[in-house]
Structure 1
Amino acid sequence: MRLLLMSDTHLPKRARELPAALLAELPRADVVIHAGDWVDEATLDLLESRSARLLGVYGNNDGPGLRARLPEVARAELEGLRFGVVHETGEARGRERRCAARFPDLDVLVFGHSHIPWDTTAPGGPRLLNPGSPTDRRRRPHCTYMTARVTARDGLTEVELHRLPPRTGTGAARG
């Protein structure tokens, strides 16, 4: 099973559309995971229409329409692994401990909010993945998203952070 992970798309505030490289991944993904801060419902509509399966949550910048359609925390079992998705996990210091305490029943937790890619495993707790943002790099050198594979036999493998080329012209992401 191939996964596509993203967060903090902030459309149309940070960019007018999702990057072409990210859109090209949609048909290859069995599950698309979005860890919140969509900002517009059109992005949710787009991902729902182009994804085999979508697992998403709302973020702190998402208004009433998105909050009515999405949960604060989403959970799914994928090939025997227990996944969770949440937007915010708090500051980086102590994240592993907090997430292990809050989500002791998960194998993998996907989160967003910081726009900073993250891949660690909490001692005795879940693997923590933040795909960054495909549209707003903030103080990072690149906009990013992640892909991964999950199988019943091997678990979570091939976790890869993808760096997007800088956006130019109208709709460019702000740095």
Structure 2
Amino acid sequence: MRLLMMSDTHLPKRARELPAPLLAEVPEADVVIHAGDWVDTATLDLLQGRARRLLAVYGNNDGPALRARLPEVARADLGGLRFGVVHETGPAKGREARCAARFPDLDVLVFGHSHIPWDTTAGTGLRLLNPGSPTDRRRQPYCTYLTATVTDGRLDAVELHRLPPRGRPPGPSAPTSS
């Protein structure tokens, strides 16, 4: 099972559209995960129309129209792993323990909000993933998103993808934060 993960698209405030390399991945994914801060309903409509399956939540910048269509927390069994999606997890310090306590029934938690790629594992085994933002890099060197596969109940091939600055080819991929 191929997963495509993104968050904090902030359209059309931070960019006019999703980057072409990211959009090209959407039909290739079995599940597209969006961890909130869409800002516009057009992006939700676009992904719902192109994705085989969408697992998504609203974020703190999403208004009533998005909150009416999306939950604050989403959960799904994907290939034998229990996934959760939420926008905010609080400060980086203590994140693993805090999330493990809040989501003891999950194997993987995808979150957003910070725009900072994150890949760690809590002491309980909960894997925490933040794909960064494909449209608003903030203090990061690149805009980013994640892909991964689920094989026989294992999360494999988690890869952070750097997006090129507008008009330039992408640089080599960097590992996610540990």
Shared fold (TM-score, shorter chain, > 0.5): yes
Query: Residue in 2 aligned with 1:172?
Result: none
Query: Residue in 2 aligned with 1:58?
Result: 58
Could you tell me how far apart the structure 2 residues matched to 1:95 and 1:3 are? Answer: 23
Could you tell me how far apart the structure 2 residues matched to 1:126 and 1:39 are? Answer: 29
Corresponding residue pairs, total: 167
- 1:1-175 to structure 2, matched below 5 A, reads 1-151=1-151, 153=152, 155-167=154-166
Report if the CA contact (8 A) 1:104-1:125 is conserved.
Answer: no
TM-score normalised over the length of structure 2: 0.92
Could you tell me how far apart the structure 2 residues matched to 1:128 and 1:87 are? Answer: 12
Could you tell me how far apart the structure 1 residues matched to 2:125 and 2:100 are? Answer: 4
Q: Where in structure 2 are there 5+ consecutive unaligned residues?
A: 168-178
Could you tell me how far apart the structure 2 residues matched to 1:166 and 1:35 are? Answer: 22
Query: Residue in 1 aligned with 2:171?
Result: none
Report if the CA contact (8 A) 1:106-1:125 is conserved.
Answer: no
Superimposed CA distance per residue, residues 14-35 of structure 1 (whole angstroms, 9 cap, x where no aligned partner): 0000000000101110000000
Superimposed CA distance per residue, residues 46-99 of structure 1 (whole angstroms, 9 cap, x where no aligned partner): 000000000000000000000000000000001110000000000000000000
Structural RMSD (CA): 0.7
Query: Residue in 2 aligned with 1:173?
Result: none
Could you tell me how far apart the structure 2 residues matched to 1:136 and 1:7 are? Answer: 10
Give 1:154 shift: 5.1
Could you tell me how far apart the structure 2 residues matched to 1:90 and 1:96 are? Answer: 10
Give 1:127 shift: 0.1
Q: Provide the secondary structure at the position in 2 that maps to 1:48.
A: helix
Q: Where in structure 1 are there 5+ consecutive unaligned residues?
A: 169-175
TM-score normalised over the length of structure 1: 0.94
Give 1:125 shift: 4.0
Report if the CA contact (8 A) 2:80-2:153 is conserved.
Answer: no
